[in-house]
């Protein structure tokens, strides 16, 4: 443990925050799921960053994640697989055809009867439409394609559907968000609902929103998916980490997207 003292203070902070937030937590089932964070209190992770990092994210020439988006543009135009088609063969210019798409995922796919996120959706087209092998989660090419698609949605407010067949996935994600996990016995909500804005070791805890991914993280020296970031949080509380793309992470992603609904997409983002 790097700094036991800081951690103790932090855990004390959690204990202090508990009763206050607990009183606002009551939800009436009849009214449907209530927002944990009202729209006017939603703050993107970038608003917790230094002005240097914010400037880096905002400037396409300085933002290192744009390199992945550019590689994604090349992959988008490259014919692959038995069908010899590129993404562009069917979808033309992604900046037009994919506008707003990233804001609507994860989404229930009626064909496969699964909840798919953007990565999963790309792989459905790889296999079913191009006759190519699915791309590995966290592979450079999948990160590149998703960065390219997501940037077409920059500024689009997150708006996922949680009704119909998506509902059970949403509920699972919601339960995971408030379940204590790991040796530190903390739930996502202990940090991201109740302690946003506080310092944890060298970092400021944000509200934990998914609207900037894939993102370049200085700590990774690379671009990574939302699931890579989520795994870092599992690791942080010393919990077993689900694999990237695991169904429970897609369920959690749906809950996070709903929780952040209305927040504009910033992908590809820059994070510490
Ligand atoms: C011990 C506190 C802690 C817990 C528990 C925790 N996180 Fe985090 N999380 C952090 C810190 C610190 C960061 C990096 C700073 C930031 O963006 O909040 C982070 C980052 C994130 C981000 C990226 C936000 C952004 O704008 O880049 C998401 C999303 C997230 N966490 C979700 C979760 C989820 C879901 C869980 C539960 C599985 C969880 N976190 C549990 C501390 C925590
Ligand atoms: C042969 C034509 C074809 C090719 C090639 C193709 N797609 Fe698709 N794609 C489709 C069709 C058809 C749909 C709609 C499927 C549905 O709604 O069930 C779709 C849907 C999508 C969606 C979801 C759009 C939305 O509005 O929800 C994304 C994202 C996507 N494709 C990405 C890609 C990427 C990335 C590639 C290349 C790796 C690709 N597609 C290659 C035909 C194609």
pLDDT in tens, 17-71: 443 333 334 333 444 577 778 888 999 999 999 999 999 999 999 999 999 999 9
Instruction: Evaluate whether 270 touches 48 at the Cβ level (below 8 Å).
Output: no
Three-state DSSP class for residue 188? helix
Measured from the Cα of 206, ligand 1's closest atom is 18
CA separation for the pair 126, 134 (Å, rounded)? 6
pLDDT at 138 exceeding the cut of 80: yes
Question: Mean pLDDT across the stretch 239-247?
Answer: 98
Lowest mean pLDDT among 36-40, 59-63, 85-89, 129-133: 36-40
Computed over every residue of the chain, the mean pLDDT equals 90
Site residues for ligand 2, CB cut-off 6 Å: 85, 87, 89-91, 101, 111, 121-122, 125-126, 129-130, 145, 149
Is residue 90 part of the annotated active site? The answer reads no
Contact (Cβ atoms closer than 8 angstroms) between residue 212 and residue 45? yes
Q: How far apart are CA 97 and CA 101, in angstroms?
A: 8
The CATH code that applies to domain 40-60+162-271 is 1.10.760.10
The pLDDT score that the predictor gives to residue 32 is: 55
Ligand with the closest atom to the CA of 84: 2
In the beta sheet, which residues pair with residue 223?
A: 216
Q: Tell me which ligand sits closest to the C-alpha of residue 236.
A: 1
pLDDT, residue 8, reads 41
Q: What is the pLDDT of residue 38?
A: 86
Atom of ligand 2 nearest to the CA of 111: 18
Report the nearest atom of ligand 1 relative to the CA of 209: 29
Rounded Cα distance between 141 and 146, Å, is 9
Q: What is the largest CA-CA distance in the chain?
A: 60
From residue 132, give the alpha-carbon distance in Å to each of 78, 87, 122, 194, 225.
Answer: 12, 12, 11, 45, 22
Q: Rounded to the nearest 10 degrees, how much is the dihedral formed by the CA atoms of 48, 54, 57, 61?
A: -170
205 has a pLDDT exceeding 70 = yes
- Please state which of the four CATH numbers 2.70.98.10, 1.10.760.10, 3.90.1150.10, 3.40.50.150 is assigned to the domain occupying 66-151: 1.10.760.10
User: What's the CA gap between 96 and 86, in Å, rounded?
Assistant: 16
Q: How far is the CA of 269 from the centre of ligand 1 (A)?
A: 15
What's the confidence (pLDDT) of residue 2? Answer: 37
Looking at the chain, the domain(s) classified CATH 1.10.760.10 span 40-60+162-271, 66-151
Q: Which residue in 124, 146, 126 sits closest to 213, CA to CA?
A: 146
Prediction pTM value: 0.92
């Amino acid at each position: 443990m790097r700094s036991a003292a800081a951690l103790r203070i932090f855990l004390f902070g959690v204990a202090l925050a508990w009763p206050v937030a607990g009183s606002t937590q009551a939800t009436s089932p009849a009214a449907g799921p209530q927002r944990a964070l009202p729209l006017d209190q939603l703050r993107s992770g970038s608003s917790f960053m230094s002005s240097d990092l914010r400037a880096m994210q905002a400037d396409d020439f300085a933002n290192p994640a744009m390199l992945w988006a550019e590689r994604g543009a090349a992959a988008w135009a490259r014919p692959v697989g038995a069908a010899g088609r590129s993404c562009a063969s069917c979808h033309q210019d992604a900046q037009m055809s994919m506008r707003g798409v990233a804001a609507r995922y994860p989404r229930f796919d009626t064909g496969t009867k699964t909840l798919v996120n953007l990565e999963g959706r790309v792989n459905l087209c790889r296999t079913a439409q191009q006759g190519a092998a699915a791309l590995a989660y966290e592979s450079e090419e999948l990160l590149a394609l998703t960065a390219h698609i997501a940037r077409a949605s920059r500024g689009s407010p997150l708006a996922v559907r949680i009704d119909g067949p998506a509902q059970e996935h949403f509920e699972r994600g919601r339960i995971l968000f408030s379940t204590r996990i790991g040796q530190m016995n903390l739930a996502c909500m202990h940090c991201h609902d109740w302690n946003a804005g506080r310092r944890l070791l060298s970092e400021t805890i944000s509200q934990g929103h998914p609207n900037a991914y894939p993102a370049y993280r200085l700590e990774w020296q690379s671009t990574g998916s939302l699931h890579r970031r989520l795994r870092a949080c599992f690791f942080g509380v010393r919990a077993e980490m689900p694999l990237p793309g695991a169904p429970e992470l897609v369920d959690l992603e749906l809950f996070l997207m709903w929780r952040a609904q209305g927040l504009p997409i910033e992908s590809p983002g820059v994070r510490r």
